[in-house]
């Protein structure tokens, strides 16, 4: 994979997930969680900005590409759903991102992203334990979210070293055991995001996220 | 979520090593670990601290405002060491 493609894939993951989380602003179940999700969204968008700046023109890359040109994982574009789905999506991604950024390149961006991802993982993981091992309803919702998102997890490890996968498995199994949740048995995996083949959800995200720059190209604050 | 599932916790932050923890506000959370996370997310985004405490609000015993006159003496300025001139070099006390 060419370096600019590699940066773009990582930047798109961070931007799309950050945008998804920002959709919770004004809707989160607790004021404290509203702050937390907003903080995580800002961390991710900050990572995306740094990577886009290395890959080319930040605004052009974020606002002037169509869905088939985006290289993000299918996982991160999945809808927020209920709170359990947002937490499970964040947990599955952060369990990958936290070890991935350790010692990765570009070093300055990776160091910051590793530190932030470690907290994102802790935040989502602790929530997952409370949801899974909480009430009957929270358990049912968390398990449903896990079962629904599981098929998007395989894509994270395409062209990645095997130890990364092993580390992710270990984190997931340990947390699911604490959360009294069952690891899905299905091995069917969906992929295509890295080649620009996205679910229908990405188009809606871009329609909202890119509207201003599309309607008023070059607009600045 | 109901108050019983996410009770209130008081948040204290030590801003710098050597300073005392200071009350900054409160958060709702399911348990102590989640309260620490909520406190971090709500109160420390701008590098405010080096240490966090969370305490269940229910653990605080408060004085009765009606007993204010009994518990607290009227102001007696002569009991404060406020009639000394401090050299500038002393700094904050």
Q: Is the pLDDT of residue B1 over 50?
A: no
User: In angstroms, rounded to a whole number, what is the distance separating the alpha carbons of residues B56 and A219?
Assistant: 49
User: In angstroms, rounded to a whole number, what is the distance separating the alpha carbons of residues A52 and B42?
Assistant: 29
| Domain spans of chain B, in order of start | 1-60
Residue A130 contacts B where some CB pair is shorter than 8 Å: yes
Which of B28, B31, B33 is facing A32, going by the closest CB pair?
B28
pLDDT for A155-186, tens place per residue? 999 999 999 999 999 999 999 999 999 999 99
Map residue B30 onto helix, strand or coil: coil
CA angle in degrees (0–180, nearest 5) for A141-A137-A186? 35
Beta strand segments in B22-91, E: 22-28, 51-56
In Å, how far is B44's CA from the nearest CA of chain A? 11
For domain B1-60, the CATH architecture is: Roll (3.10)
In Å, how far is A36's CA from the nearest CA of chain B? 5
pLDDT for A76-127, tens place per residue? 999 999 999 999 999 999 999 999 999 999 999 999 999 999 999 999 999 9
CB-CB contact of A43 with A95 (8 Å): no
Q: Is the pLDDT of residue B47 over 90?
A: no
User: In angstroms, rounded to a whole number, what is the distance separating the alpha carbons of residues A117 and A135?
Assistant: 28
CB < 8 Å to A25, chain B: none
Please choose, from the candidates A14, A77, A102, the residue with its C-alpha nearest in 3D space to the C-alpha of residue A50.
A14
Over its C-alpha atoms, chain A yields an Rg (Å, rounded) of 17
For domain A3-215, the CATH architecture is: Up-down Bundle (1.20)
pLDDT for B2-35, tens place per residue? 567 889 999 999 988 889 999 999 999 999 999 9
In Å, how far is A213's CA from the nearest CA of chain B? 29
Which of A32, A39, A134 is facing B27, going by the closest CB pair?
A32
The residues with which B52 forms a beta bridge, in sequence order, are B13
Residue found by looking up tokens 């997931």 in the block: A172
């Amino acid at each position: 994979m060419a370096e600019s493609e590699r940066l773009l894939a990582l930047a798109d993951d961070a931007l799309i997930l950050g945008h998804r989380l920002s959709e919770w602003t004004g809707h989160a179940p607790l004021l404290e969680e509203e702050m937390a999700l907003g903080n995580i969204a800002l961390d991710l968008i900050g990572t995306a900005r740094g990577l886009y700046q290395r890959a080319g023109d930040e605004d052009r890359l974020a606002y002037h590409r169509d869905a088939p040109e985006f290289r993000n994982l299918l996982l991160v574009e999945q809808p927020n759903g209920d709170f359990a789905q947002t937490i499970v999506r964040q947990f599955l991604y952060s369990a990958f991102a936290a070890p991935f950024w350790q010692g990765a390149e570009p070093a300055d961006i990776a160091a910051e992203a590793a530190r932030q991802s470690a907290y994102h993982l802790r935040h989502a993981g602790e929530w997952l334990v409370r949801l899974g091992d909480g009430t009957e309803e929270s358990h049912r919702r968390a398990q449903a979210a896990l079962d629904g998102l599981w098929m998007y997890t395989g894509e994270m490890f395409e062209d990645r070293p095997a130890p990364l996968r092993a580390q992710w498995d270990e984190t997931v199994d340990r947390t699911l055991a604490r959360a009294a949740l069952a690891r899905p048995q299905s091995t069917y995996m969906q992929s295509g995001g890295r080649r620009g083949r996205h679910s229908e959800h990405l188009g809606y995200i871009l329609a909202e996220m890119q509207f201003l720059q599309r309607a008023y190209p070059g607009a600045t604050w | 979520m109901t108050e019983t599932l996410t009770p209130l916790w008081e948040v204290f932050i030590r801003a710098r090593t050597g300073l005392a923890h200071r009350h900054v506000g409160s958060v709702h959370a399911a348990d102590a670990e989640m309260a620490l996370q909520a406190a971090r997310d709500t109160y420390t985004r701008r590098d405010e601290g080096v240490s966090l405490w969370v305490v269940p609000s229910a653990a605080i015993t408060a004085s009765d405002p009606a007993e204010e006159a009994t518990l607290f003496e009227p102001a007696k300025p002569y009991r404060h060491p406020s009639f000394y001139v401090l050299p500038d070099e002393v700094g904050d006390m």
